[in-house]
Structure 1
Amino acid sequence: MLFIHLSALSGILVLTFCYWGMRRNREYTISKYLLFFLFFASLGVRLLAASLSKGFGSDTACFASWADRIFQTGPGGFYSPDVFTDYPPGYMYVLWIVGAVRSLFRIEYYSAAHLILLKLPAILCDMVCGLLIFREAVHRGRKQQAPFLCAAWLFNPAVILNSSVWGQVDSCFSLAVIFLCLCLVRRKLPSACVAFGTGLLIKPQMLLFAPLLAAGIFDELLSPSVRKISSPLPCTDNGKHFAEKEHFADSKKLSLCGTVVLKMMRCLLPGLAVIVGMVLFCLPFGLENVWKQYFSTVGSYPYAAVNACNFWGFLGLNWVSQDTVFLGIPYRILGGAAIAAVIALVLLISLKNRRTSEKYPFLGALLIVGIFMFSVRMHERYLYSALPLLLLAWIQKPSQLTFFSYCGFSVLHFYNTAYVLFFYDPANYDRKAPVILLVSAGMLVCTGVLCAAARTFYGTPKRPQPFQVKTSRKRIPLNRADIFVMFTVTLIYGGFALYDLGDRKAPGTALDLTQNQSLTLDFGGEVPAVLSYYIAPWHDRTFSLEGQWESSGQWTSLGEITLQNVFSWQDILLEADVSRLRFTLTESQASLLEFTFLDEQGEILVPVNASDYPALFDEASLHPAESSFRNSMYFDEIYHGRTAYEFLHGLTSYENTHPPMGKILIALGVALFGMNPFGWRIAGALLGIVMVPVIYLFARRLLKDTLPAALVCVLFAFDFMHFTQTRIATIDVYITFFVLLMYYFMYNYACLSFYDIPLKKTLLPLGACGICMGLGIASKWTGVYAGCGLAIIFFSSLYRRYREYFHAKKNPDSSSNGISHRQIIDRFLPCAGNTILFCLVFFVLLPAVIYLLSYLPFQDYAERGLLARMLHNQTTMFGYHSNLESVHPYSSVWYEWPIIRRPIWYYSRIVSQTANGGLREGISAFGNPAVWWAGIPAFFHMLYLWAKKKDTTAAFLVTGYLAQYLPWFFVTRVTFIYHYFPSVVFVVLMIGYSFIQWKKKVPGPAFSVAIILYGGVALALFGLFYPVLAGQPVEAAFVADCLRWFKSWVLTAS
């Protein structure tokens, strides 16, 4: 991999040098010696690489065998059902010559000379492509940039890898594509048809460029028909003038009709001639054989992606069948729709710019990039032809974005093809390898850059707006309606959140045992049938079990039993008819909180010698009729709630895979209310309640309107994920709470300017943001994701202040929005410097201190100091998360979260069983469909507002949302839908901001009614799904008929 990185780095350096050279405006004469050096040096590099590399084994073997076969059998015997041949006849003519040369000179198979011979056609096409790029640049008056453009192609590692190392022939096919575009640029439609036919004979992928040829034909047909015909001379004779006028109109119609027919013939005849020529070229091979070969090639590789780093590769779907269904639609249908959308976009841009012919190289690049990125069945090399087209597009219409796209796609395409060439192993293929995901993400970014270039140069030009200095936004004070809404929603939600949260009492006294210590229990002739136990803090405690009958004095082994989960009532069936039991611990230690024995009728049996073990039988009244979430831990509470107990008792932590802060907060609830279900859940539930007024304040500040802010508050309060995730003793509620606070404070900071208010007032929200960031990171590492988003927002705000400073320096004696430019000039440097120093303290030093201090109750590696314990735990945490390969039946991947494809099922209990199903209890975590599904178009609306209208609020929301969501795109370990919880904060805010934009276009009453109805739908869905969110009894038939909207929604036991 090091060699690949070094090659990519060399390519980046070459492209950087070329970009620097193209930007220079120096006039100089191009030396022919320089051109010779460029071409011969690049040719030497290629020949050396070709001689040293055997390329992709199967491809090299195919080309070698095909060359020999066609030379020996001729075209007529080449295609055969017994031989694998998946290339059309065009390149076989080239291989015929290769086979003849090898036979004539008796070149040894796979020798350096043979490898060079096999790769020579593609290498020569590389050279010709470079020459065409150079000549086109000179032809278009870009003589100074021509050598650099040529070098950017000739020394591109992706180009060299394809032809000289791999041994593929994409440059031969791309040469035809280049000729096609240049002919269309010059309005030479017949020559363009010839180029298209030639490319189609070389590779069927030429069909992907058919829309480009169609665009050229449309332009030809839609071009001005005739020149304006001058009006006849004035005439005094009115009748004669009318006759001449009528005759002129008739002749004009005939002329137009004749021109249209002539143009249609000019478009049709070259195409027919090319088809005839292709048939003649294919005749020696047998038309039927060629026809079958084309169809078999087109139908091959029916997968979502074939080693391609594109959209499908980004989803981890390489080598996944294209018939796999997503939301009821097979991938192949989605891919076909993507192709149709890309073609429609290209034709639309072409139609809009039909008067210019410089568009074709760019449209060709956009076409192949769009199809490669979003269509199914794409191979890693299908992007190759976009590279020369992007250089030609820059020549036609210079643009930094176009050249940046070329550079980005070059480096990423190099990584894609190099990874396949050197590391592809079908037996151990990892569809979610980090390199595949990262390169795919880069491809998507470059695609966005290319679309931006299209919008910039082929969209409607917009008049630039004058730069304005922004003043601090004044905080709108809360009115009575705000306070009423905020506290009403909080009160109602608080009632739901605290109701049936969990029992307030649980066994607390413990009997501690050490290895080989025994418990002997005598039931006085009664036979226990079930042991119900409650243990802590160590799980999976194994005991050897022995029994004794009344009539016998001997102990008989009954095997071993294992007491599993902690702080949970669990049952073990005792299948032996004995009245005396002896438990002997085989582990190093155990702590037993309560034992309860039941007979066959379910009645409690108390051993006659229970007084020998008072701590074990003193809380039998707490034994529940059924184990449930009300009296026991469920899901990851057995880790995080247990750690809270361990912190309070100075024990080592079984769960040390997350930072301690969240578990410290859980421990705070336990310290106040006891180690019981209510105690270990209350802290999260209270923070969930506190989130409600905070999100209202955030929305009120951001939206500046009571009704949309109320909607945001309701949507978040009664989102299913918010409700469920804050009632379980895990740490996700704490990171989400701190994310909400840190972005609330950062938004407040971004609304302020140190030009018109004292600096210390801007630092208050900034400092609060830094403290919350430290608490968030100390709760869960995903707080770092949030920190990255905060950094982007902060530096964007500071950059805005710099632009205002730069603007003020141009007119120092003027003012903007009541702020003196002289004041801006005087304040920028000291205020910006002090702000950065302040951030170093509150965003670097203070979070580090908070993180370190959170390890005070952490007793693992107790022999080490605080700093050493913390640092060692970072290593173990990273090792755990990076090597986690476990699977879970209710796990889900990032792109399934917004559409709620698979909820995570936390808890289930069968309350009763009847013929119709009976009652069930269940707790699942997923989103309110009215919220999460609406968040998808709201996100794209924010992107539109940001890109189209430069809306800074939309930019803030998108940044915050992606900071929480985007990193999960690259996580290959098992993930769950609750990882989306911090993103929901921004989902509801994006929905609210979308409503604000809509308010500008609809009457006030209609807007209010729409908000009330939408909020009512969200509340109604919360009420509908409440039983499976809160673990309340519900009919199984109701769940199956009304709540299980999709098969993947498992909400209760069947």
Structure 2
Amino acid sequence: MTTPRRATEADGRHGDPAAPVPPGGTSSATGAEPAGSATTEPGSTGPRSAQPGDTEPGAEDALRRRLGLRPRGHRLHPTARLWGWVGPLLVTALAAVLRLVNLEHPGHLVFDETYYVKQAYSLLVLGYEGRWADDVDPAFAAGDTSGLSTDPDYVVHPQVGKWMIAIGLRLLGADDATGWRISAALTGTLAVLLLSRVAVRLFRSPLLGSVAGLLLAVDGMHLTASRISLLDGFLTFWVLVGFWAVLRDRESSRAHLAREAAAEPAGTGGLRGRLGPGAGPRWWLVAAGVALGLATGVKWSGLYAVAVLGILVLCWDTAARRTVGARRWVAGGVLRGGVPAFVALVPTAAVTYLAGWFSWFATPGAYLRTWAADQRAAGEVIQPGVPDALASWWEYHRRMFDFHTGLASEHSYEAHPAGWLVQWRPTSFYWPEDPPQDCGAERCVEAITSLGNPVLWWLAAAALLVVGWTAVRRRDWRSWAILAGYGAMYVPWFAYTERTIFTFYAVAFTPYVVLALTYGLGWVTGVLKPPGTAAPSPPRGRRWFVHQDGDVAPGPAGWWVLTVVVAVVLLVSAFFWPVWTGQSVSYGFWHAHMWLASWV
């Protein structure tokens, strides 16, 4: 029987070592048979001889270690489980305060709220986006909605995000800015909790999970998107839900693979069948498909998340088969892992996206809803065999695509995506010509600037180098997961640099910016170790709030680095709070926040 190499603690913590464990391999860390491993007949007091079809005890746990999983039946220590929720819930409470306090200010439509809030109200009233009279924003803010007509309006984004805004309008009314923005604020708050829990699961560290949630809670890019009813905050949330579901699928599919591989009879020396076993039911990918379908139903950018996360799943499936010793692991990863994953993810996302147009299909008065029927009535040939509703829907999408690819009007705040990582040209959401003169200075201003916390974003840009290095050189799957977030929500914008695009679009990948910085902090402080490196044991006691395995203790220098970085980020966030929330301040105070000339 082939004996696998020594399995270190790092194998169980960090994922895919290069060397596979053959089915039936030994399970102890030294490669020796564990004590008491002989099989005992029911009712017998002694070991029996091995029988055909027996599997070696501990083989599944050995495979689970190699696949980055904990042993079967593992239960977190109650204190570790408690810390995994206490920290995230505390930072979520802070996020809620920052997003909900004084949410009604400014009391009129800000930036692109002029489109999305009024379109959300129209969906409630008409079931489709109706056309509004010109210069109707002041009247709408005062509660006068008479400017809405029944004529359909041509809009260029799907309806899911606007329906989410409409929930707040239904609950709190359209005559109060809190009603316009409550859905965005609550969604942003939930995103903080979700990211914090994602980081706990990704890094197995309640400390780093809490740090990640805290950084997102106080970041200006995410904060302003949560206090203004734009679509991008909803896109961010649903892509993050899909990311979380993909992480859960990685665990469940690998657990199934380990169980199937370990079921091979001891001593067979390989997996049954050249491609290896299937990955089992992919219900978490179905959940990811729903989430990413909703993301695409907010903005088409969600399509990139479907593609990138789908490729990530395929790569993980293929690597897992190599780890467990499948002879044709590439073909097995594609056929036994990739194809079922595609079926679970992509059609689900497509059906969910289509369902997001339910009110458009249900209301004949919607824009282009009867286009195909009208064309047929005029004698035109329209896609034989395709229902008129779907033909009209497809024509609408064709026109939306033409708009998005042809948008090239100049704007003073347009920004090339190359500068987004360092917030080179932030977007001004709000700058009234006649601000209140109540700041105690000769000239007062009110401003809402979609500017990420500069220290956070600049450090995260540096941490991204660490993430890239560990992904390539250390093959750290956590690094690849973070890079996938950038690949889905950031990299595609480089194909549209001729378009009019803005830095505030970067909110969609802000969670992965935070994860990159958190990863870098964990790597520098010693909370996280590169794959193949055993984690140190603490000199005394258990540090459950540092790591769920309770066996990591950063040195004094590590604690200082973590404390200083978090403290500086918090201080900078407090400094920028007035220009993230539209407070009335003196012009000199505002100008002191414009650290770069490109910010003005």
Fold conserved (TM > 0.5)?
yes
Q: Distance between the aligned counterparts of 1:792 and 1:850, measured in 2?
A: 20
CA drift of 1:853 comes to 1.8
Aligned residue number for residue 846 of structure 1:
348
Secondary structure (helix, strand or coil) at the match of 1:861 reads coil
Letter paired with 2:115: Y
CA drift of 1:640 comes to 1.0
Matches within 5 A, 1:717-756: 717-752=217-252, 753=254, 754-756=256-258
Q: Distance between the aligned counterparts of 1:914 and 1:791, measured in 2?
A: 52
Q: Distance between the aligned counterparts of 2:124 and 2:91, measured in 1?
A: 35
Q: Distance between the aligned counterparts of 2:406 and 2:504, measured in 1?
A: 21
Partner deviation per Cα, 1:671-710 (whole Å, 9 max, x = no partner): 2221132112111110101011101111001111122222
Aligned residue number for residue 544 of structure 2:
none
Q: Distance between the aligned counterparts of 1:926 and 1:782, measured in 2?
A: 21
> Which structure features the higher share of strand residues?
1
Letter paired with 2:583: Q
Aligned residue number for residue 294 of structure 1:
none
User: Gaps (5+ residues) in structure 1?
Assistant: 1-463, 503-628, 811-823
Aligned residue number for residue 54 of structure 2:
none
Aligned residue number for residue 46 of structure 1:
none
CA drift of 1:761 comes to 7.2
Aligned residue number for residue 642 of structure 1:
118
Q: CA, structure 1 residues 914+483, in 2 after alignment: closer, same or farther (shift >3 Å)? A: closer
CA drift of 1:931 comes to 1.3
CA drift of 1:832 comes to 7.4
User: Gaps (5+ residues) in structure 2?
Assistant: 1-16, 22-62, 131-152, 261-277, 361-365, 372-387, 530-552
Secondary structure (helix, strand or coil) at the match of 2:501 reads coil
Letter paired with 1:1037: G
Partner deviation per Cα, 1:526-574 (whole Å, 9 max, x = no partner): xxxxxxxxxxxxxxxxxxxxxxxxxxxxxxxxxxxxxxxxxxxxxxxxx
Aligned residue number for residue 781 of structure 1:
300
**TM-score computed with the length of structure 1 as normaliser:** 0.40
Q: CA, structure 1 residues 914+779, in 2 after alignment: closer, same or farther (shift >3 Å)? A: closer
Aligned residue number for residue 684 of structure 1:
184
Counterpart of 1:983 (choices 506, 509, 518) is: 509
Q: Distance between the aligned counterparts of 2:227 and 2:280, measured in 1?
A: 37
CA drift of 1:868 comes to 3.0
Aligned residue number for residue 998 of structure 1:
524
**TM-score computed with the length of structure 2 as normaliser:** 0.69
Matches within 5 A, 1:366-377: none
* Preserved CA contact (<8 Å) 1:900 1:927: yes
Secondary structure (helix, strand or coil) at the match of 1:871 reads helix
Q: CA, structure 1 residues 1033+793, in 2 after alignment: closer, same or farther (shift >3 Å)? A: same
Q: Distance between the aligned counterparts of 2:347 and 2:358, measured in 1?
A: 18
Matches within 5 A, 1:766-805: 766-804=285-323
Counterpart of 1:707 (choices 192, 207, 215) is: 207
Aligned residue number for residue 658 of structure 1:
157
CA drift of 1:800 comes to 1.4
Matches within 5 A, 1:2-81: none
Indicate the structure whose relative CO is greater, using CA pairs within 8 Å and at least 6 residues apart: 2
Q: Distance between the aligned counterparts of 1:809 and 1:880, measured in 2?
A: 49
**1:882 aligned to 2:405?**
yes
* Preserved CA contact (<8 Å) 2:313 2:338: no
* Preserved CA contact (<8 Å) 1:749 1:762: no
Secondary structure (helix, strand or coil) at the match of 2:597 reads coil
Q: CA, structure 1 residues 640+664, in 2 after alignment: closer, same or farther (shift >3 Å)? A: same
**1:674 aligned to 2:173?**
yes
Secondary structure (helix, strand or coil) at the match of 1:905 reads strand
Partner deviation per Cα, 1:839-898 (whole Å, 9 max, x = no partner): 344322222222222112232123255423421221111111111121111111101111
Letter paired with 2:522: I
**1:1018 aligned to 2:569?**
yes
* Preserved CA contact (<8 Å) 1:707 1:1008: no
Aligned residue number for residue 282 of structure 1:
none
Matches within 5 A, 1:372-771: 466-467=19-20, 470-471=66-67, 473-474=69-70, 477=76, 479-502=81-104, 630-650=106-126, 651-653=128-130, 654=153, 656-676=155-175, 677-752=177-252, 753=254, 754-757=256-259, 763-771=282-290
Aligned residue number for residue 65 of structure 1:
none
Letter paired with 1:854: G
Aligned residue number for residue 936 of structure 1:
461
CA drift of 1:1004 comes to 2.6
Letter paired with 1:485: G
Letter paired with 1:714: L
Letter paired with 1:975: I
Q: CA, structure 1 residues 869+649, in 2 after alignment: closer, same or farther (shift >3 Å)? A: farther
> Which structure features the higher share of helix residues?
1
* Preserved CA contact (<8 Å) 1:917 1:1037: no
Aligned residue number for residue 1043 of structure 1:
593
CA drift of 1:914 comes to 8.6
CA drift of 1:732 comes to 0.2
Aligned residue number for residue 142 of structure 1:
none
* Preserved CA contact (<8 Å) 2:279 2:336: no
Letter paired with 1:976: F
CA drift of 1:837 comes to 5.5
**1:919 aligned to 2:444?**
yes
Q: Distance between the aligned counterparts of 2:279 and 2:321, measured in 1?
A: 19
Q: CA, structure 1 residues 1008+844, in 2 after alignment: closer, same or farther (shift >3 Å)? A: same
Q: CA, structure 1 residues 797+1036, in 2 after alignment: closer, same or farther (shift >3 Å)? A: same
Q: Distance between the aligned counterparts of 2:438 and 2:525, measured in 1?
A: 51
Q: Distance between the aligned counterparts of 1:636 and 1:466, measured in 2?
A: 53
* Preserved CA contact (<8 Å) 1:771 1:842: no
Matches within 5 A, 1:97-496: 466-467=19-20, 470-471=66-67, 473-474=69-70, 477=76, 479-496=81-98
Q: Distance between the aligned counterparts of 2:488 and 2:316, measured in 1?
A: 17
Q: Distance between the aligned counterparts of 2:327 and 2:506, measured in 1?
A: 45
Q: Distance between the aligned counterparts of 1:991 and 1:1024, measured in 2?
A: 21
CA drift of 1:1037 comes to 1.6
Q: Distance between the aligned counterparts of 1:476 and 1:728, measured in 2?
A: 42
Aligned residue number for residue 424 of structure 2:
901
* Preserved CA contact (<8 Å) 1:695 1:713: yes
Q: Distance between the aligned counterparts of 2:458 and 2:106, measured in 1?
A: 32
Q: Distance between the aligned counterparts of 2:229 and 2:75, measured in 1?
A: 37
CA drift of 1:943 comes to 1.3
* Preserved CA contact (<8 Å) 1:920 1:1036: yes
Superposition RMSD in Å = 2.7
Letter paired with 2:593: L
Q: Distance between the aligned counterparts of 2:167 and 2:478, measured in 1?
A: 37
Q: Distance between the aligned counterparts of 2:259 and 2:227, measured in 1?
A: 42
CA drift of 1:913 comes to 7.8
Letter paired with 2:500: V
Q: CA, structure 1 residues 730+808, in 2 after alignment: closer, same or farther (shift >3 Å)? A: closer
Q: Distance between the aligned counterparts of 2:326 and 2:310, measured in 1?
A: 25
* Preserved CA contact (<8 Å) 1:708 1:1011: no
Q: Distance between the aligned counterparts of 1:700 and 1:476, measured in 2?
A: 15
Q: Distance between the aligned counterparts of 1:836 and 1:950, measured in 2?
A: 20
Aligned length: 443
Q: CA, structure 1 residues 465+729, in 2 after alignment: closer, same or farther (shift >3 Å)? A: closer
Aligned residue number for residue 1031 of structure 1:
582
Letter paired with 2:512: F
Secondary structure (helix, strand or coil) at the match of 2:564 reads helix
Q: Distance between the aligned counterparts of 2:523 and 2:504, measured in 1?
A: 30
Q: CA, structure 1 residues 761+993, in 2 after alignment: closer, same or farther (shift >3 Å)? A: farther
Q: Distance between the aligned counterparts of 2:443 and 2:75, measured in 1?
A: 53
